[in-house]
Homo-oligomer: A and B are copies of this chain.
Amino acid sequence: MTDWTGAQTRAREWFEALRDSICAAFEAIEREAGSDARFEYTSWQREDDGSGGEPGGGVRGLMKGRVFEKVGVNVSTVGGTFSPQFAASINGASVEQPEFTATGISLVAHMANPQVPAVHMNTRFLTTTKAWFGGGADLNPPLPREEDTADFHAAFKAACDPFGEDRYPRFKAWADDYFYIPHRKVHRGVGGIFYDHLECADEARFEAEFAFTRAVGEAFLDIFPTIVRRRMAESFTPADKAVQLEWRGRYAEFNLVHDRGTLFGLKTGGNIDAILMSLPPEATWN
């Protein structure tokens, strides 16, 4: 299987459908809080990299609400050739075969109330000379609560287990390793799952991994709104808010210094506003 056009279309359509479901769920939460906030959508086109391929683009959705202080969700579908310096670092690509396609959804929510965790979720399908899925989700509470952490992890364990009982422990450990700020020697949140290179050597593997990717998205769609509703009406102090703003500084450090997705976007001509949509609406460094 070397023509991934149909597979990429199906993956893209799923990411768009998941985006629509998530945005509807988040807007419903805003209604419950008495707000009429809605996502606003902006299309963007990737700059042509001169490779002759379809440069592609995406749609960036952004909502600033009463519960969701700033939530961005981006679905992008791009293709082209990696630069020679970058090609060698990508699975299945090389200076001789630098072509790639990528489609994916990425979401980051920063919440107004520091009692409500922030969250990140991303799933993607890439092709070079190989084809694979990657993704992850992690919970980022400024004020961690055991119940929320346990429920978040349980949701992703339930999504992983039907696809192999080794998956959840491996992907949880991978998240612990990835979502770590080495210069601070702290994790950026309470973890979740992270995975990459779930390779699709044939159509059967593609179908299995595509089903897994959908299960991860559906787990997110279920558990995160549950946690938000649990915490959104809780009171907080100015000291709690200060903790949140300082904690968001660490989050910005992670994304700008360490996050491979951010670097991938910046190096492949991605849309700056879409790539940096993950940054917090407000942060402090004391």
Contacts and interface: CB of A to CB of B under 8 A. Distances in A.
Contact of A253 (B184, B245, B276): B276
Interface in A261-286: 266, 272, 275-276, 279-286
A201 interface: no
Interface string A211-255: 000000000000000000000000000000000010001001100
In the assembly, how many copies of this chain are there? 2
B286 A283 contact: no
A257 interface: yes
A256 interface: yes
Contacts of A252: 252, 256, 283, 285
B281 A284 contact: yes
Contacts of A249: 279
Given A183-B272, A252-B252, A266-B183, A284 B282 contact: yes
Contacts of A282: 245, 282-284
Contact of A286 (B256, B275, B281): B281
Nearest to A182: B266
A281 B272 contact: no
Nearest to A256: B256
A246 to B, nearest CB: 11
Contact of A257 (B256, B281, B286): B256
Interface string A165-194: 000000000000000000110000000000
Given A183-B266, A252-B283, A282-B284, 20 more contacts: A70-B285, A70-B286, A183-B272, A184-B272, A245-B282, A249-B279, A253-B256, A256-B257, A257-B257, A257-B266, A276-B285, A279-B285, A281-B284, A281-B285, A281-B286, A282-B282, A282-B283, A283-B283, A283-B284, A283-B285
Interface of A: 70, 183-184, 245, 249, 252-253, 256-257, 266, 272, 275-276, 279-286
The 8 closest A-B pairs by CB, nearest first: A256-B256, A279-B285, A183-B266, A282-B284, A256-B257, A183-B272, A283-B283, A253-B256
22 contacts: A183-B266, A184-B272, A245-B282, A249-B279, A252-B256, A253-B256, A256-B256, A256-B257, A257-B257, A257-B266, A276-B285, A279-B285, A280-B285, A281-B284, A281-B285, A281-B286, A282-B282, A282-B283, A282-B284, A283-B283, A283-B284, A283-B285
